[in-house]
């Protein structure tokens, strides 16, 4: 090839204003390869070490039934992109609603300028970024029809009203009944200067109840929420009769429950949503964002014992239909399974691209974000304590006097693992048996202390849907655990009625 022919084959920066890429606007497909490749090359030519572009389309709706009326239907349609530029250990993120080539180029230019970089001069060559063949998880796994197969707005309303009517049949002294549902459909595409080029569709849905009961001065409030990914018929298949029965039964028992007495107790925590304490008090401390901030007590504990030898914990994106399941993370990395703790020994942290670069811990497919408005960060997916070898009766039989925490409520966690969590449904354990319901209990402690006191895990692992807020917004996650015994924990409460 003659050198004189090179300018005709290679793109120069002076040609950028005349480029006219035509990419599909209602779908992220192969037609986006050319413009994204050009923009990534432009960023590299400007001096960036790494450039990533994240595209997103969202079709979201939620529906609320209060008592016997649909009181809210809220749809939202959004489209946007985020451009992230790395230089050394620094990075910058800029988002935009303009997905035209000019709009994305402007976002790239702003991100570069914040890092002190400029677009190349008029005659500079733009390096070609050879993107991989599109990894299209959506098409490969039949997701393109998911949105059309979901429940219509009319069907949403009918199901929620039927669900609330069933709750009214089963609950006593009901003061307020709420049934709610949301559907979040998201199409994403990730392209990066290391050749990453991937597309996916996510479908996250959730339905649940909130019940308030009152009888004189007695009050109880119980909620229950189910969630799933990847099931267009989720709402149609919701067994709201069984859910209503469980919520009504719990609210009835808590309505006349005695208040718990403050003190230190052995505690049995129920499976499924009981795992929220591990998620909040420990899971966040194993994200590389915490290492970067130096706010985790486990920063230099890899390979060391940080929990009781009975405890093994995982984080993964692979469990079928779980709320935190993803085929790829928001940086285009395929989902995987990460062993966090094995027999009490810290094995791994959760790392996104930036976290890996700054801490040295390997990426784990954990770069997640709420939307294009946020840069990805290391976040949990499906996080749970693994099942143990004990039967449930053995856990209860080991306690002379303690508390069974059947249903966890809200709480708060400090930056380094101090926590307090309300217990919505609790029972007194006496001589290995449940004797009476208790209310007003709050679990108080620190992650570094409670982890070493989880001495028994049963065989009945259960998972539950949850929502997690952190530096990259609110995302869908799974929490979980088997029933487990905490040898001693501070329980806040009060005496009297």
The domain locations on the chain are: 1-256, 263-492
The reported pLDDT for the residue numbered 195 is: 98
Q: What is the pLDDT of residues 263-279, one digit of tens each?
A: 999 999 999 999 999 99
The reported pLDDT for the residue numbered 4 is: 38
pTM here is: 0.93
Which residues, 6+ apart, have CB-to-CB distance to 18 below 8 Å? Answer: none
The reported pLDDT for the residue numbered 411 is: 82
Task: Evaluate whether the domain defined by 1-256 bears CATH number 3.30.2290.10.
Answer: yes
The reported pLDDT for the residue numbered 3 is: 35
Could you tell me the CA-to-CA distances from 183 to 115, 394, 442, 450 in Å, in that order? 38, 41, 32, 36
The reported pLDDT for the residue numbered 204 is: 98
Indicate if the alpha-carbon torsion angle 380, 404, 181, 61 is positive or negative. Answer: negative
The reported pLDDT for the residue numbered 2 is: 35
Q: What totals of helices (H) and strands (E) does the chain contain, helices first?
A: 13, 23
DSSP at 149: H
Cα 103 to Cα 150: distance, rounded to the nearest angstrom: 33
Neighbours of 2 (CB within 10 A): 5
User: Locate tokens 């030519």: which residue?
Assistant: 45
Show the low-confidence residues of the chain (pLDDT under 70).
1-9, 495-497
The reported pLDDT for the residue numbered 9 is: 55
Q: What is the pLDDT of residues 442-480, one digit of tens each?
A: 999 998 899 999 999 999 999 999 999 999 999 999 999
Mean pLDDT, the chain, integer: 94
């Amino acid at each position: 090839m003659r050198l004189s022919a090179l300018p005709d084959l290679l793109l120069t920066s002076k040609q950028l204003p005349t480029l006219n890429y035509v990419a599909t606007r209602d779908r992220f497909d192969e037609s986006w390869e050319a413009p994204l490749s050009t923009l990534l090359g432009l960023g590299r030519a400007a001096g960036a070490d790494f450039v990533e572009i994240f595209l997103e389309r969202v079709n979201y709706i939620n529906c609320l039934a209060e008592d016997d009326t649909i009181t809210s239907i809220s749809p939202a349609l959004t489209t946007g992109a985020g451009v992230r530029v790395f230089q050394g250990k620094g990075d910058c993120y800029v988002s935009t609603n303009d997905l035209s080539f000019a709009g994305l180029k402007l976002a790239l230019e702003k991100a570069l300028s914040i890092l002190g970089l400029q677009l190349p001069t008029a005659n500079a060559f733009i390096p070609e970024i050879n993107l991989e063949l599109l990894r299209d998880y959506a098409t490969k796994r039949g997701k393109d029809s998911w949105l059309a197969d979901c429940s219509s707005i009319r069907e949403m309303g009918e199901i929620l009203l039927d669900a609330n009517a069933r709750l009214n049949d089963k609950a006593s002294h009901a003061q307020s009944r709420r049934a709610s549902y949301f559907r979040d459909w998201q199409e994403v595409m990730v392209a990066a200067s290391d050749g990453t080029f991937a597309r996916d569709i996510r479908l996250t849905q959730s339905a649940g109840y909130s019940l308030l009961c009152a009888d004189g001065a007695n009050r109880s409030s119980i909620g229950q929420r189910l969630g799933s990914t990847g099931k267009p018929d989720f709402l149609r298949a919701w067994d709201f009769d069984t859910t209503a029965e469980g919520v009504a039964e719990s609210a009835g028992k808590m309505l006349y429950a005695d208040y718990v007495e403050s003190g230190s107790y052995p505690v049995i925590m129920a499976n499924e949503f009981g795992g929220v304490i591990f998620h909040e008090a420990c899971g966040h401390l194993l994200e590389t964002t915490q290492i970067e901030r130096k706010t985790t007590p486990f920063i230099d504990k890899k390979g060391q014992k940080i929990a009781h030898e009975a405890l093994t914990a995982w984080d993964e994106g692979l469990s079928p239909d779980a709320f935190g399941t993803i085929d790829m993370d928001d940086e285009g990395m395929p989902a995987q399974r990460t062993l966090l703790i094995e027999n009490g020994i810290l094995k791994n942290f959760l790392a996104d691209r930036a976290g890996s670069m700054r801490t040295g811990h390997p990426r784990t497919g954990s770069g997640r974000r709420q939307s294009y408005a946020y840069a990805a960060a290391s976040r949990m997916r499906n996080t749970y304590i693994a099942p143990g070898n004990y039967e449930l009766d053995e856990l209860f039989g080991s306690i002379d006097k303690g508390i069974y925490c059947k249903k966890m409520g809200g709480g708060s966690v400090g930056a380094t693992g101090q926590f307090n969590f309300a217990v919505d449904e609790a029972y007194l354990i006496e001589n290995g048996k449940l004797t009476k319901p208790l209310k007003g209990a709050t679990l108080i402690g620190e992650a570094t202390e409670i982890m070493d006191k989880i001495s028994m895990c049963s065989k009945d692992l259960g998972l539950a849907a949850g929502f997690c807020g952190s530096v990259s917004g609110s995302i869908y996650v799974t929490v979980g655990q088997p029933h487990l015994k905490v040898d001693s924990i501070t329980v806040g409460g009060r005496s009297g009625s």
